[in-house]
């Protein structure tokens, strides 16, 4: 059995600086050992612990989709010790990856349903993975209407700009980009994510809503989702509690009886409503 504490080595193949403030970078990684590649099967919404030698490890959601098996991608916001060490690494650098961890989005339950994804900040990385997964030619017919609402504080802070441009050309899903404050070049929507969600008003009839973003965005989006009629058992949230082991052993990430690393990070709102409000 694979040791869940043992990271596998991966090589940095590409680094993209995502935001104008240089604080968010996306790393494309390849496995050094072929056998590690074969055993790393994941679903969107899962995460892995990335380690920078001598600095420690931290959890990050997979930003790539398993339908793009040529690389594994992580989008890293510079916040402290580990994320700064990762930001200082360059193409060719070797880092450790431990995973995949957590439950991920419930793909089987989403099949045959409309999906509304609402995201902001680096939390959008796992929704990017889910979007690419459901839009893949092999999967698109398994899902109904797809709506993606994605917001950033300003145009320069939007992630995956080239991909967003490609997505905007597609006619098989609805993409709504918004910024809190625009600039001279921005001709798109202006307004915070909860406001735009209300304006767009996606139908809740046969739909799941999947929310991943900063706590303040989630807090103000949830009442809108409720107004739109999404029931708590079709409202999915991805949580970002502090973690250590990532495998349900150390007790660092628990909310009541649940471990975010093992039972989550994706939870139905119906489940969270039964737990202490510690997230």
Ligand X SMILES: Cc1cc2nc3c(=O)[nH]c(=O)nc-3n(C[C@H](O)[C@H](O)[C@H](O)COP(=O)(O)OP(=O)(O)OC[C@H]3O[C@@H](n4cnc5c(N)ncnc54)[C@H](O)[C@@H]3O)c2cc1C
> What does the binding site for ligand FES look like in residue numbers (CB under 6 A)?
243-246, 248-253, 259, 261
Taking every pair of Cα atoms in the chain, the longest distance, rounded to a whole number of angstroms, is 56
Nearer to ligand FES, 56 or 231 (CB): 56
Q: Report residue 44 as tokens.
A: 């969107």
Nearer to ligand FES, 159 or 245 (CB): 245
Q: Going residue by residue from 184 to 223, which x/- string records binding to ligand X, judged by CB under 6 A?
A: ----------------------------------------
Residue nearest to ligand X (CB): 80
Closest approach of Cβ 75 to ligand FES, in Å?
21
Alpha helices (H) along 106-229: 107-110, 124-135, 161-169, 193-200, 215-227
279 touches ligand X by CB under 6 A: no
Instruction: Give SS3 for 110.
Output: helix
Calpha distance 183→31 (Å, rounded): 40
Q: Which does 155 bind (CB under 5 to 8 A by kind): ligand FES, ligand X, none?
A: none
The percent of the chain in helix, strand and coil, each rounded to the nearest 5, is: 30, 30, 40
Closest approach of Cβ 54 to ligand X, in Å?
13
Bridge-based pairing of strands 258-259 and 254-255 is: antiparallel
Residues 9 to 68 in contact with ligand X, rule: CB under 6 A: 47, 58-61
Q: Going residue by residue from 226 to 255, which x/- string records binding to ligand X, judged by CB under 6 A?
A: --------------xxxx------------
Closest approach of Cβ 205 to ligand X, in Å?
30
Bridge-based pairing of strands 56-61 and 47-52 is: antiparallel
Among the residue ranges 14-22, 75-83, 173-181, 218-226, the one whose residues contact ligand X (CB under 6 A): 75-83
Calpha distance 224→207 (Å, rounded): 15
With vertex at residue 19, the alpha carbon angle to CA 14 and CA 23, rounded to the nearest 5 degrees, is: 85
Closest CA to 73 of 20, 125, 130, 4: 125
82 touches ligand X by CB under 6 A: yes
What are the residues binding ligand X (CB under 6 A)? 47, 58-61, 75-77, 79-83, 122, 125, 240-243, 265
């Amino acid at each position: 059995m694979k040791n869940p504490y043992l990271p596998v080595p991966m090589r940095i193949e590409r680094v993209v600086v995502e935001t104008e403030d240089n604080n968010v970078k996306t790393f494309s990684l390849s496995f050094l050992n072929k056998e590690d590649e074969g055993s790393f099967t994941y679903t969107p919404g899962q995460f892995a612990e990335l380690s920078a030698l001598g600095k420690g490890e931290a959890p990050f959601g997979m930003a790539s989709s398993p339908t793009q098996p040529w690389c594994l991608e992580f989008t890293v916001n510079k916040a402290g010790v580990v994320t700064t060490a990762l930001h200082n690494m360059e193409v060719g650098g070797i880092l450790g990856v431990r995973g995949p961890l957590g439950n991920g989005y419930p793909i089987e339950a989403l099949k045959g349903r409309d999906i509304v994804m609402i995201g902001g900040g680096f939390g959008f990385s796992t929704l990017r993975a889910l979007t690419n997964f459901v839009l893949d030619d092999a999967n698109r017919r398994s899902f109904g209407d797809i709506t993606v609402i994605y917001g950033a504080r300003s145009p320069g802070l939007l992630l995956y700009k080239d991909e967003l441009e490609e997505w905007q050309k597609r006619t098989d899903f609805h993409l709504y980009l918004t910024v809190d404050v625009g600039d001279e070049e921005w001709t798109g929507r202006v307004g915070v994510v909860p406001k735009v969600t209300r304006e767009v008003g996606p139908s809740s009839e046969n739909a799941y809503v999947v929310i991943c973003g900063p706590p303040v965005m989630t807090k103000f989006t949830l009442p809108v989702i409720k107004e739109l009629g999404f029931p708590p058992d079709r409202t999915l949230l991805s949580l970002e509690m502090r973690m250590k082991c990532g495998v349900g052993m150390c007790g660092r990430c628990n909310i009541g009886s649940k471990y975010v690393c093992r039972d989550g990070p994706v939870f139905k709102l119906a489940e969270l409503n039964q737990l202490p409000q510690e997230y």
